[in-house]
Amino acid sequence: MTDTLNIRDLTLDFKGHSGTARVLHGISLRIGRGERVALVGESGSGKSVTARIVLGLLQELRGVRVGGTVEFDGRDLASLTRRQRAALRGTAMSMIFQDPTSSLNPVYPIGTQFTEVLRRGEPGISERDAALRAATLLNDVSIRDSGRVLGSYPFQLSGGMNQRVMIAMALANEPALLIADEPGTALDVTVQAQTLGLMRDMVAAHQTSVLFISHNLGVVREFADRIYVIYKGRIVESGTTRAVFDAPGHAYTRALMAAVPRLTGGGIPEIDDASADFLAPAVLHAEAAP
């Protein structure tokens, strides 16, 4: 069976006045149908630019050079025109952004924005049918008072409610690939857990493939089937979630695990010298809170 997403030897260069800077150094990853795959690394490691390349956004910018191969459902995205790539966004592939409130347009009610999303996949859908479809999708993410939500503006809803709206919108056209870029980071931990559970249930129902971008291995452990660890634009480790957590092979992976907050025990766990090099001195020497 063809993978939903297959990235091979992906490179990314940014050209500037002082020369060319390479950001991605030949990364490769794949996602099968219905599989949840996490791309994990600290800020600036190359996670989000990888997602933007998959969506076809960076290729349209000046001073950017992309190498390697990105295949979506067996098609090389480099062979598509700009219009063809744009047609995939919001239909065959969708994205959930980190901050739901800033991702929604504040000057339009949720219902209007939902209708525009649905018309990406079905241009002729009527206002009435769009409202009915939106209500069903909102119900799927445990929003019962859909009429009030569809008539509200984003600023009138809580962060958790906006995140649920974003999940429903992202899955509205039943995409083959969902990219989730740090979803729930701006939310409190209980709402974040609910959000991940809703997303897990919905992608399972639609057999959607997921590229889950995060720096938090604690969250990834609960969600992903497989993990790719990225550091300074290079994949340094990959494997099933259980294998990576049971026996992390790279020092950077062990450092990320050591950085996950613990509720008990005080401070951070002991780590080897190689892993310690990846952690900021201020973190390494932090004392446990009273």
Indicate whether 285 belongs to any domain.
no
In a domain, 50, yes or no: yes
Q: Per the domain annotation, does 139 fall within a domain?
A: yes
pLDDT by residue (tens digit) across 6-32? 999 999 999 988 889 999 999 999 999
Asked if 151 and 67 count as a contact pair (C-beta separation under 8 A), the reply is no
Buried b (16+ CB within 10 A) or exposed e, 43-58: eebbbbbbbbbbbbbb
Residue 52 has pLDDT above 80, yes or no: yes
Q: In the structure encoding, which two tokens stand for residue 152, read together?
A: 């509200």
Residue 179 lies in a domain: yes
Question: Would 232 be classed as within a structural domain?
Answer: yes
95, part of any domain: yes
CATH number of the domain at 236, please.
Answer: 3.40.50.300
Q: According to the model, what pLDDT value does residue 157 have? A: 92
How far apart, in Å, are the Cα atoms of 14 and each of 11, 82, 234, 261?
10, 20, 16, 35
pLDDT band at 274 (very low <50, low <70, confident <90, very high): low
The share of the chain scoring above pLDDT 70, in percent, equals 87
For the sheet containing 93-96, what is the strand order?
93-96, 177-181, 209-214, 36-40, 226-231, 234-240
CB-based contacts of 212: which residues, under 8 Å, 6+ apart? 36, 37, 38, 39, 180, 220, 223, 224
Residue 211: domain span: 5-262+269-278
CB 241 within 8 A of CB 226: yes
- Give 273's pLDDT tier (boundaries 50, 70, 90): low
Q: What is the DSSP letter of 61?
A: S
E strand or H helix at 132: helix 127-140
pLDDT above 60 for 276: no
Helix (H) or strand (E) holding 210, with range, is strand 209-214
Per-residue pLDDT band at 187 (split at 50, 70, 90): low
- What local confidence, expressed as pLDDT, does residue 93 receive? 95
Residue 105 DSSP one-character state: -
Q: How many structural domains does the chain have? A: 1
Q: How confident is the model at residue 203 (pLDDT cuts 50, 70, 90)?
A: confident
Q: Select the more confidently predicted residue: 65 or 206.
A: 65
Whether residue 289 lies inside any domain: the answer is: no
pLDDT of residue 222: 87
Query: Residue 272: its pLDDT value, please?
Result: 62
Confidence check: pLDDT of 121 > 80: yes
- Three-state DSSP at 68 gives strand
H/E stretch holding 129 reads helix 127-140
User: Would 51 be classed as within a structural domain?
Assistant: yes
